[in-house]
C-alpha cells in the first residue's frame, strides 16, 4: 500500500508536552466570534506519534495537515452531522468514559438501538481494521458507515448541503480541499483528526520512561502478574492489543450469539472472535466487552484470569486459566488503573 508516514519522535518528554498542549488544557479558550463569517478555527500543531511504536500509516490520498485536523476536530464534535441533531461522533466516544459511552450497547440517532458496545478510540490510527469484528478497512470507510448508518442516521447529501451553508465551514473546506464540502471530504477531515487521538501518557508510561516514583510497588508487581499470566499474549505491546481476533467466550451462551469475526471471514473457527481491545484508559471505560456484558473491571479481570467462558471455539492456545492469590488480583487491577490516560480530547469552538 502506498503510504506516507508520520515520523517517529525521539524524545518522550516532548511527546508528553505536546500532547498536553493538544489536550483539554487549551480547550474553550477561544470564544465563538459574533460574526459567523469571521470564524477562526483553533489550529494546533500535529501531535507526535507514540514514541515507542511503529510509525502510523497515513493514506497517501488523505495527508495530514494542521488545518485539516482542525476541521475534522470540529466535525467530530458537531451534532449537526446527525439526522436529528442529537449526536456527534463524540457523543459515543466521551472523555469521561475513556472515549466510550458508558452504556452496555450504544444508542444511535433517532434512538436506534445498536447491537454492540462502543469501543475506545485511543490510538485508533494505529489500527489496520476497524470495529469489533474488523469489517472495515479504513477510518474513512468506517466514519462514512457510522455517519450514514444507525449511529448517526444521516442522509449524507442533505447534511453536506447544511455544512456548506455554514460560512465558517465553507471557508475551511476551501482552504483545506480547495472546494466545497463533499461527504468524502467530511470523512477525510474527521479521519485525519482521529489519527491525532493518541494516548501515550499515563503513570505506567512515565514509569516505563524511567520515573521509578511514577507508580506504586503494587502497580509494578501487578505488571509482573499481567506478564506472568500471559495477558500480553493478546493485550500486547505499547497499544495493549495485538489487533487480532480471539474468542474468549463472551456472549457465546446467548440463544443467538454474535458470531463476530466469522461473519467477516466466513471461517467457522473464528466464531465468537473479536478484536482484542486496548487496555489503555480501561479503568474509565466500563462496561466492557463487545456486548457490554462486563459491568466492572474487577468482574472482567476475574473472568479473564479464569480462562474466559468455555465454548467450542474458545482460544485455549492463548488464554489459559491462572491461579492468582487475592492480593495478586488486586495488584493486577492496580496495574490496569495505572494505564489511565492523563490527557483528554479538547472541545473545539464550532462555526455557527
Q: Which is nearer to ligand HEC, 4 or 322 (CB)?
A: 322
Among 39, 73, 126, 147, indicate the residue that binds ligand HEC (CB under 6 A): 147
Q: Closest distance between ligand HEC and the C-beta of residue 76, in Å?
A: 6
Residue 234 in the binding site for ligand HEC (CB under 6 A) = yes
Cβ proximity of 177 and 185 under 8 Å = yes
Q: Which among 24, 200, 21, 196 has a CA at the least distance from the CA of 95?
A: 24
Among 78, 205, 315, 331, indicate the residue that binds ligand HEC (CB under 6 A): 315
Q: Closest distance between ligand HEC and the C-beta of residue 12, in Å?
A: 25
Binding characters for ligand HEC, 91-110, by CB under 6 A (x = yes): xxx------------xxx--
Residue 274 in the binding site for ligand HEC (CB under 6 A) = yes
Site for ligand HEC in 49-68 (CB under 6 A): none
Q: Which is nearer to ligand HEC, 12 or 98 (CB)?
A: 98
Q: Which is nearer to ligand HEC, 206 or 284 (CB)?
A: 284
Q: Tell me if the bond preceding 287 is cis, omega within 30° of 0.
A: yes
Cβ proximity of 170 and 100 under 8 Å = no
Among 83, 181, 219, 304, indicate the residue that binds ligand HEC (CB under 6 A): 304
Cβ proximity of 145 and 302 under 8 Å = no
Residues 6+ apart with CB under 8 A from 140: 59, 62, 184, 187, 188, 191
Q: Closest distance between ligand HEC and the C-beta of residue 343, in Å?
A: 19
Q: Which among 70, 45, 54 has a CA at the least distance from the CA of 5?
A: 54
Residue located via cell numbers 449524507? 156
Residue 57, class by beta-carbon neighbours within 10 Å (0-12 exposed, 13-18 middle, 19+ buried)?
A: middle
CA end-to-end span of the chain: 39
Q: Which three cell numbers stand for residue 61?
A: 490520498
Size of residue set near ligand HEC by CB under 6 A:
53
Residue 131 in the binding site for ligand HEC (CB under 6 A) = yes
Q: Which three cell numbers stand for residue 99?
A: 472515549
Q: Closest distance between ligand HEC and the C-beta of residue 310, in Å?
A: 14
Q: Cα torsion at 88, 92, 93, 94 (round to 10°)? A: 90
Q: By the criterion CB under 6 A, which residues form the site for ligand HEC?
A: 87, 89, 91-93, 106-108, 114, 116, 118-119, 121, 124, 127, 130-132, 139, 142-143, 146-147, 151-152, 190, 194, 229-231, 233-235, 246, 248, 250, 274, 276-277, 279, 282, 285, 288-290, 300-301, 304-305, 315, 318-319, 332
Amino acid at each position: 500500500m502506498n503510504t506516507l508516514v508520520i515520523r517517529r519522535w525521539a524524545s518522550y518528554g516532548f511527546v508528553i508536552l505536546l500532547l498536553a498542549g493538544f489536550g483539554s488544557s487549551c480547550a474553550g479558550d477561544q470564544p465563538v466570534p459574533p460574526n459567523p463569517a469571521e470564524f477562526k478555527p483553533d489550529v494546533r500543531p500535529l501531535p507526535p506519534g507514540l514514541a515507542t511504536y511503529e510509525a502510523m500509516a497515513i493514506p497517501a490520498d488523505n495527508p495530514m495537515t494542521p488545518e485539516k485536523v482542525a476541521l475534522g476536530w470540529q466535525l467530530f464534535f458537531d451534532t449537526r452531522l446527525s439526522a436529528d441533531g442529537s449526536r456527534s461522533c463524540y457523543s459515543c466516544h466521551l472523555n469521561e468514559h475513556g472515549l466510550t459511552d458508558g452504556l452496555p450497547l450504544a444508542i444511535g440517532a433517532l434512538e436506534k438501538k445498536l447491537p454492540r458496545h462502543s469501543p475506545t478510540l485511543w490510538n485508533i490510527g494505529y489500527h489496520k481494521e476497524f470495529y469489533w469484528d474488523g469489517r472495515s478497512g479504513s477510518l474513512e470507510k468506517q466514519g462514512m458507515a457510522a455517519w450514514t448508518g444507525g449511529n448517526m442516521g444521516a442522509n449524507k447529501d442533505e447534511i453536506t448541503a447544511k455544512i456548506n451553508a455554514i460560512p465558517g465551514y465553507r471557508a475551511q473546506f476551501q482552504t483545506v480541499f480547495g472546494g466545497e464540502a463533499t461527504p468524502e471530504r467530511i470523512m477525510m477531515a474527521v479521519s485525519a483528526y482521529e489519527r491525532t487521538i493518541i494516548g501515550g501518557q499515563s503513570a505506567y508510561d512515565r514509569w516505563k520512561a524511567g520515573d521509578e516514583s511514577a507508580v506504586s510497588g503494587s502497580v509494578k508487581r501487578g505488571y509482573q502478574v499481567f506478564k506472568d499470566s500471559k495477558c500480553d499474549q493478546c493485550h500486547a505491546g505499547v497499544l495493549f492489543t495485538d489487533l487480532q481476533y480471539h474468542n474468549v467466550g463472551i456472549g457465546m451462551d446467548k440463544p443467538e450469539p454474535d458470531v463476530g469475526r466469522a461473519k467477516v471471514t466466513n471461517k467457522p473457527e473464528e466464531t465468537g472472535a473479536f478484536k482484542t481491545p486496548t487496555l489503555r484508559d480501561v479503568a474509565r471505560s466500563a462496561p466492557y466487552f463487545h456486548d457490554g456484558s462486563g459491568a466492572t473491571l474487577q468482574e472482567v479481570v476475574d473472568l479473564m484470569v479464569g480462562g474466559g467462558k468455555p465454548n467450542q471455539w474458545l482460544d485455549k492456545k492463548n488464554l489459559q486459566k491462572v491461579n492468582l492469590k487475592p492480593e495478586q488480583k488486586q495488584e493486577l487491577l492496580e496495574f490496569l488503573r495505572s494505564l489511565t490516560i492523563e490527557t483528554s480530547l479538547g472541545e473545539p469552538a464550532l462555526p455557527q
